[in-house]
Structure 1
């Protein structure tokens, strides 16, 4: 299993931040690996909503189905799955001064079968991605 954790503050009120990030389709704007992400279940967003995600990291493309597992005012959790991996994106939010929000972003990636052999290299790779998520997500959120 690979875990990447980042905590940072954006200059945007918590309601705007949560409203934006609870729609996982927006991952294509803040996640460096996401090429395309589209809601695949009809209706309003809530627990059980699914998205089709196409990602490419370090030249390797993959597709996952993400599902919203938790939808709270201060936390949203998405789980992505395919044949080789399970990815959990856990985002927690707290007010941090006037018009600012502290975000804790945790990504847990578990590889299945032979893909487990990639864990040591994947840890290094996903740490690099985690370092890219913070400035990208900050820029996107502060531009809202």
Structure 2
């Protein structure tokens, strides 16, 4: 199991931040590992919307299908699955000073079967990756 969390502030209003992050296809901009992320279907983004995600982390490529499983004004959760793992990208939001937003990014990965043996190494790798999310997400959001 991998579990990482980072809290940081961006200089953008909460409503704008949530609206942008609610479309997981935007992960190609803010998630350092995401190579490609496309919505499945043409319906507007809503609870149950799914995305096909292709990521590459430390030389290992993987594909997952993510689903928007929590869709609230101050909380978004995306649940990703494939045969090797289940992953949860959980984003909570609070109002900061002025037009700023406090974001808590929490990523949790549960490996299946023999992949569980990778837990200790994966935790170290995800710690490094999670360190880059606040900077990349802040840069993307503040340019909007």
SS of 1:8's partner is: strand
Which residue does 1:100 correspond to in 2? 100
Which residue does 1:21 correspond to in 2? 21
The structural deviation recorded for 1:42 is 2.3
CA distance in 1, matches of 2:107, 2:44: 25
Unaligned runs of 5+ in 1: none
CA distance in 2, matches of 1:41, 1:89: 21
Which residue does 1:117 correspond to in 2? 117
1:90 aligns with 2:111: no
The structural deviation recorded for 1:96 is 0.3
1:134 aligns with 2:102: no
Which residue does 2:53 correspond to in 1? 53
Unaligned runs of 5+ in 2: none
Provide Cα deviations, 1:97-134, integer angstroms capped at 9, x if missing partner: 11100000000000000000000000000000000101
CA distance in 1, matches of 2:97, 2:132: 25
CA RMSD of aligned residues (A): 0.5
The structural deviation recorded for 1:87 is 0.5
The structural deviation recorded for 1:52 is 0.2
CA distance in 2, matches of 1:45, 1:120: 35
**TM-score normalized by the length of structure 2:** 0.99
CA distance in 1, matches of 2:121, 2:41: 34
**TM-score normalized by the length of structure 1:** 0.99
CA distance in 1, matches of 2:15, 2:97: 14
* Deviation >6 Å, runs of 4+: none
